[in-house]
């Protein structure tokens, strides 16, 4: 009997074990209960990390770095390695904006640079060490409305705080990348000068230039000589400061886009490519009149402008030949940026059409070595420091 009982109990125990196994199997198969915690940690982690990326809606560059971090966690890298990896993924402008029109890329770049500059200026305030300004100035507007009213020079200076006597200015928040002498050939056009300066100063300040404005005023009675006045302006400016380049600027041209940056160019730049007077088109391919910029070393290699063009016309074409002969090329910004409005005017007395201009243009190549900066001869009659510009009155002898 005892042996029977033992056998029976034994049988019961086996039955119970089988029953438990059966119940367990059914629960896993049909009810999908959690697996035991002996499952490898890697699987669990990878699933939850990917879910985090999707759930938080992070896409593109951000998700990429998160994903990299996640993969490294799986491999068991240290958090230091992770940080390094995340930082080494940098967004590229091209990849993130490939579908945006070119003009908008410029805006985008300006925006990005603005952030950088803010950061830079904050840093500089903290450490009191100034950094170079951003390559693309952060506060540009793009297309500009031009002001046509003439205001006296004092008022213009008042409206542009930070302007130093003599028409000097440079950014205070960073070190300018460009030291530019703006040279204006001038005689008896005060209203135009007021209008120009009223438009120019705010723009040049936004462009974060270290600049000075030199108005070279030709005394009567000699015929007007625009090119020689520009040589004089260049020479006088260089005596006063270590400018890197010069912008030669007609008094009656008002810029219509502040992305037309008056910076020192790699190659001579014709800034006034599109003028309302010429229906915003180039009248001819080699035109170089109006507003142009040139680097110091290049201007000196060309021996500056000619001193021999008295009266209207030809001096700009002579310069275009000098540029070519010196191995340089005239460059221009796009036509929607290099835009100007010319203040309406008639031909000035003392600046009549120069009948010798065509004959002179035939000899540019021969003449340029001896006619220019190295043969410049003039007398300074007056130096007049105005709040908005330095006016230098000069006498030129017409032999
Ligand atoms: C064109 C050119 C200009 C120059 C000129 C021929 C363009 C846009 N402009 O201008 O650069 O080549 O032909 O010489 O291509 N000025 C005075 N007082 C005067 C006379 C002239 O201040 O009595 C100055 C002033 O800066 C003026 C500049 O010289 O803007 C050119 O003279 P313009 O305006 O009479 O000549 P314009 O408009 O035909
Ligand atoms: Mn003009």
Q: Which of 226, 231, 340, 389 to mutate to test the pocket of ligand 1 (most atoms within 8 A of CB)?
A: 226
pLDDT grade, residue 222 (50/70/90)? very high
d(CA 222, CA 205): 36
pLDDT at 20: 52
Of 73-82, 224-233, 252-261, minimum mean pLDDT range: 73-82
251 lines ligand 1 (CB under 6 A): yes
For residue 170, give every residue at least 6 positions away whose Cβ sits within 8 Å of its Cβ, in sequence order, or none: 176, 209, 210, 211
CA angle 4, 7, 13 (to 5 degrees): 140
186 lines ligand 1 (CB under 6 A): yes
Catalytic site residues?
Answer: 250, 252, 312, 315-316, 342, 345, 347
Expressed in angstroms and rounded, the spacing between residue 345 Cα and the centre of ligand 2 is 7
d(CA 181, CA 196): 16
Q: Which of 248, 287, 289 to mutate to test the pocket of ligand 1 (most atoms within 8 A of CB)?
A: 289
269, 217 Cβ separation under 8 angstroms: no
Q: Which residue has the tokens 């003039």?
A: 378
pLDDT at 399: 78
Which atom of ligand 1 lies nearest, measured to the CA of 226?
29
d(CA 212, CA 187): 19
Global pTM reads 0.73
Whole-number Cα distances in Å, 326 to 217, 295, 302, 309: 29, 13, 6, 20
The mean pLDDT of the chain is: 77
Whole-number Cα distances in Å, 334 to 208, 257, 292, 324: 21, 11, 14, 21
171 lines ligand 1 (CB under 6 A): no
272 lines ligand 1 (CB under 6 A): yes
Q: For the segment 69-87, what is each residue's pLDDT rounded down to a tens digit?
A: 222 222 223 232 222 222 2
pLDDT grade, residue 290 (50/70/90)? very high
Expressed in angstroms and rounded, the spacing between residue 250 Cα and the centre of ligand 1 is 6
> What would the mean pLDDT of 264-292 be, rounded to a whole number?
97
316 lines ligand 1 (CB under 6 A): yes
Q: For the segment 137-158, what is each residue's pLDDT rounded down to a tens digit?
A: 999 999 999 999 889 999 999 9
Ligand nearest 348 Cα, by number?
1
Expressed in angstroms and rounded, the spacing between residue 282 Cα and the centre of ligand 2 is 15
Q: Give percent of the chain above pLDDT 70.
A: 68
Q: For the segment 335-388, what is each residue's pLDDT rounded down to a tens digit?
A: 999 999 999 999 999 999 999 999 999 999 999 999 999 999 999 999 999 999
Which atom of ligand 1 lies nearest, measured to the CA of 340?
8
DSSP 104-130: HHHHHHHHHHHHHHHHHHHHHHHH---
Q: Which of 187, 221, 250, 313 to mutate to test the pocket of ligand 1 (most atoms within 8 A of CB)?
A: 250
318 lines ligand 1 (CB under 6 A): no
Expressed in angstroms and rounded, the spacing between residue 277 Cα and the centre of ligand 1 is 13
Structure tokens at 6: 């033992």
> What would the mean pLDDT of 277-288 be, rounded to a whole number?
97
Expressed in angstroms and rounded, the spacing between residue 290 Cα and the centre of ligand 2 is 8
pLDDT grade, residue 55 (50/70/90)? very low
Question: Is the predicted pLDDT of residue 101 greater than 90, yes or no?
Answer: no
Expressed in angstroms and rounded, the spacing between residue 34 Cα and the centre of ligand 1 is 87
Q: Which of the pair, 57 or 141, is modelled with greater confidence?
A: 141
pLDDT grade, residue 128 (50/70/90)? confident
Q: Which of the pair, 119 or 143, is modelled with greater confidence?
A: 143
């Amino acid at each position: 009997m005892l042996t029977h009982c033992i056998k029976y109990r034994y049988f019961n125990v086996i039955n119970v074990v089988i029953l438990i196994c059966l119940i367990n199997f059914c629960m896993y198969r049909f009810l999908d209960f959690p697996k035991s915690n002996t499952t490898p940690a890697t699987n669990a982690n990878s699933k939850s990390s990917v879910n985090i990326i999707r759930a938080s809606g992070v896409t593109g560059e951000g998700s990429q770095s998160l994903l990299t971090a996640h993969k490294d966690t799986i491999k068991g890298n240290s958090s230091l390695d992770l940080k390094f990896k995340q930082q080494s993924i940098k967004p590229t402008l091209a990849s993130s904006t490939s579908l945006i029109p070119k003009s908008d890329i410029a805006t985008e770049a300006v925006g990005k640079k603005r952030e950088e500059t803010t950061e830079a200026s904050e840093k500089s305030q903290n450490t009191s060490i100034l950094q170079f300004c951003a390559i693309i100035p952060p506060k540009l507007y793009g297309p500009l409305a031009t002001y046509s009213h003439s205001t006296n020079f004092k008022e213009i200076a008042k409206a542009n705080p930070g302007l130093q006597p003599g028409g000097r200015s440079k950014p205070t928040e960073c070190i300018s990348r460009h030291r530019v002498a703006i040279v204006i050939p001038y005689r008896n056009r005060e209203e135009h000068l007021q209008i120009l300066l009223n438009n120019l100063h705010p723009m040049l300040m936004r462009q974060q230039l270290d600049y000075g404005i030199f108005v070279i005023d030709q005394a009567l009675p000699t015929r007007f000589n625009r090119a020689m006045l520009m040589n004089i302006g260049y020479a006088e400016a260089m005596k006063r400061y270590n400018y890197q380049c010069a912008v030669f600027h007609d008094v009656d041209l008002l810029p219509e886009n502040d992305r037309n940056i008056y910076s020192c160019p790699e190659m001579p730049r014709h800034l006034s490519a599109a003028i309302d007077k010429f229906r915003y088109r180039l009248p001819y391919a080699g035109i170089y009149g109006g507003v142009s910029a040139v680097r110091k070393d290049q201007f000196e290699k060309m021996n500056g402008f000619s001193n021999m063009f008295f009266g209207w016309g030809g001096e700009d074409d002579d310069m275009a030949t000098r540029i070519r002969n010196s191995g340089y090329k005239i460059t221009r910004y796009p036509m929607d940026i290099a835009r100007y409005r010319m203040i309406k005017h008639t031909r000035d007395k003392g600046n009549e059409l120069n009948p010798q201009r065509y004959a002179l243009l035939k000899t540019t190549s021969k003449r340029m070595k001896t006619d220019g900066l190295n043969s410049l001869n003039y007398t300074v009659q007056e130096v007049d420091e105005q709040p908005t510009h330095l006016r230098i009155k000069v006498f030129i002898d017409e032999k």
